[in-house]
Structure 1
Amino acid sequence: MSREAYQVPALDNNQTAFGNGGGAGSYGAAQPQVQSVRYICGECDAKFSLPHNATLRCTECGHRILYKERTKRIVQFEAR
């Protein structure tokens, strides 16, 4: 396929090539979403979420041993 024959796939009005909201050309204009990770405290079993750059400390008791919450999506590995 030659370079001239290639056409960029059409996107909806509320979709970009990366899947997040915003229109075409909004790469620098949109604010990045702050993704948070769900944790479970090892001391008081409180469930809470923290952003990636936050200090790993329980919001309830201040304990520093935290466990990541198990994912809800299906994870399947192929065994040989």
Structure 2
Amino acid sequence: MSRETYQVPSMGTQNTFDAQGGGYASAMAIDSPSVVYLCGECSARVPLKRGDQIRCKDCGHRVLYKERTKRMVQFQAR
């Protein structure tokens, strides 16, 4: 049997080592799009980005629901 050494899969620019901060800088955290959620208490629209606190900015409630998609979803019946 031949032994092959394990190679770490390359992640591209998603996880790169930050020399100034001494940690990992994620490209997703810098320019990540915000996803809109609905507050379970006051029904306010709350845009959240990656790493934000899961909390309504109006009332402080912590139960948020993801909005339904606006595109058409169709299932094929058999």
> TM bucket by the smaller chain?
0.5 to 0.7
State the distance in 1 between where 2:55 and 2:75 align.
33
Consecutive unaligned residues in structure 1, runs of 5 or more: 1-26
**Cα distance per residue 1:23-74 (max 9 Å; x no partner):** xxxx86xx76311111110101111210122121101111001111111111
State the distance in 1 between where 2:54 and 2:76 align.
34
Q: What TM-score results when the alignment is normalised by the length of structure 2? A: 0.56
- What percent identity do the matched residue pairs reach? 54
Aligned residues: 52
Consecutive unaligned residues in structure 2, runs of 5 or more: 1-11, 14-26
From the two aligned structures, give the one with the greater strand fraction.
Answer: 2
Report the aligned-residue RMSD: 1.8
Q: What TM-score results when the alignment is normalised by the length of structure 1? A: 0.55
Runs of 4+ in structure 1 off by over 3 angstroms are none
